[in-house]
Amino acid sequence: MNTRDRIQKIVGYRTWSVQRKVDALLEIDCNLYTNLGTDSTATERKDVKSISKLIYKSISNISPIDGYLLKAYYEEKPKSIS
């Protein structure tokens, strides 16, 4: 089972709470980025980023508030210290 199938399976669970679904999706995202290394190719990094976006969209569908907060944090530009 690939990652995209796991994401859809988690989203489709009816017995899991919203928090449990969000936690499981964020755990998948964490594992994807943890497995990237200095030897990862540009294609692997691009794939991980696209799967990460799918995870955030899935979280937005499950819990709009959590999705909004994650999107705001993800798109926030780092502030420079001057």
pLDDT digits over 36-48, tens only? 988 999 999 999 9
Domain segments of the chain: what residues? 3-74
- Which segments within 5-47 are labelled E, that is strand? none
Confidence bin at 70 (pLDDT 50/70/90): confident
Using the structure block, give the residue that is written with the tokens 């709009």: 64
For residues 58 and 69, what is the distance between their CA atoms, to the nearest angstrom?
Answer: 13
- Tokens, residue 17: 């709470």
pTM, two decimal places: 0.85
What would the pLDDT profile of 3-29 be if each residue is shown by its tens digit? 999 999 999 999 999 999 999 999 999
User: Residue 78: which pLDDT band, with cuts at 50, 70 and 90?
Assistant: low
Cα separation, 40 vs 72, in Å, equals 27
